[in-house]
Copies of this chain bind each other. A is one copy, B any other.
Amino acid sequence: MSLASRLVDIHTHIYLPRYCALLRSRTSVPRILTSNRDGKPDDRLLILDHEPSGGRPVGPHYWERDEKIKFMDRHGIDLSVVSTANPWLDFLHPSEAKTLASQLNEDLEQYCADSPQLSPSLKRLYGFGLLPLVPDISITALLETIEQISKLSHLKGIIMGTKGIGKGLDDDALDPVWEALSKAGLVVFLHPHYGVDAKAWGEKDNGHVLPLALGFPFETTIATTRLILSGVFDRHPSLRLLLAHSGGALPQLSSRLASCIDHDPVVASRLAHDARWYLGKLYFDAVAYGPEELGFVSDVIARAGRFEAGASGSTGATVDRKLGSKRMMFGTDHPFFPPLKGTEKWRSVVENLEAIDEVSGWSQEEKEGVRGGNALSLFNLLL
């Protein structure tokens, strides 16, 4: 099997044992609470106060490497780029966050380095490290952690929430961080975590559906838009940002965004390019559960070049969504969205694989790229 036909999962999470131990030791959220249910120990992850359904049942697939490998084998996944799941270090004081980030980065390096070989030159597991992105952290501490990660050979990037050091990612104070990440060639995986005010979801009990299905993608959309508006991509053109959940709603709202910018005296002329141009500089996971969604995202990436400053804008010609597919890559969101009753494979995973396979206008070559080749290229694993 050639490397180009590998299946690579770039959206897959882990709660490392050291992180779980911390969560188990805590008396307020986020925490793992063990109780007894029907005579068996029952671990529940509580992220929010008033968690729906008494918290999310968690088990070894949240923390054991063997379970990750088993999951990969069951679904034909050759290689995974693993990231700590939210809420990362968000709830810690700066000194604790710094220490734990450093320890978890070492742990994740070991987790990957000791994983089975995929080929003589590749392991089956690589990772996204953590930065201690919490309020009152020093920028120096962040830069030191980037330096640490860049020396850990199995860590290929970092995962990041949307809060930054308290003021969001459009905070000018983060400029040295973007600069250092760009220089180190680390991919930034932007991932949401309950960043939308829960009042929006109303009073009805809809479980986790509204914050997960809508809130998470909105949060990614807002954070990325704020990054665009703050000029981060103009100042750091080599920054590689990978967006969770196919960029949330950003693709569908990007032309409206461009129109609103054009019509706003505060923002018009601030950016080097039309807002749609920046979408062509981003990377998108293919975790959208439908072929029409994926095809559309690839359209939006493919059309971006039309919106470079000085270009003609819309030309009327059909965009070539094959080109857009190069910036998209398969992910599972494991260990979330677990199998539904009676299915051996996880339906959420099968749906995402089928979605890639069914995108109209992508040839076999583009589909294989999205399944793995694009990720191997992004993470410099095409050895």
Contact = CB atoms under 8 A, between A and B. Distances in A.
A339 to B, nearest CB: 10
A48 interface: no
Interface stretch (A33-41, A144-152, A215-223): A215-223
A360 to B, nearest CB: 4
A296 B257 contact: no
B213 A253 contact: yes
Contacts of A303: 292
Interface string A242-255: 00011011011111
Nearest to A276: B290
Contacts of A245: 256
A290 B255 contact: yes
Contact of A351 (B167, B230, B248, B259): B259
Given A217-B253, A226-B204, A340-B263, A299 B292 contact: yes
A257 B222 contact: no
Contacts of A222: 200-201, 210, 214
Nearest to A198: B197
Which residue, of A248, A256, A257, A295, has the highest number of chain B Cβ atoms within 10 A?
A256
A184 interface: no
B318 A209 contact: no
Nearest to A208: B264
A200 to B, nearest CB: 5
A293 interface: yes
A338 interface: yes
A358 B212 contact: no
A221 B226 contact: no
Contacts of A204: 170, 226, 229-230
Given A218-B218, A230-B204, A263-B338, A296 B225 contact: no
B252 A202 contact: no
A52 interface: yes
A92 interface: no
A203 interface: yes
B259 A289 contact: yes
A200 B196 contact: yes
A135 interface: no
Nearest to A358: B316
Interface string A305-344: 0000000001010110000000000000000011010000
Which residue, of A290, A292, A348, has the highest number of chain B Cβ atoms within 10 A?
A292
A229 B206 CA distance: 7
Interface of A: 52-53, 167-168, 170, 195-197, 199-210, 212-214, 217-218, 221-222, 225-226, 229-230, 245-246, 248-249, 251-267, 276, 288-293, 295-296, 299-300, 303, 314, 316, 318-319, 337-338, 340, 347-348, 351, 354-355, 357-358, 360
6 tightest CB-CB pairs across the interface, nearest first?
A207-B266, A255-B290, A249-B249, A255-B289, A197-B197, A213-B260
5 contacts: A170-B204, A210-B226, A218-B218, A259-B348, A290-B314
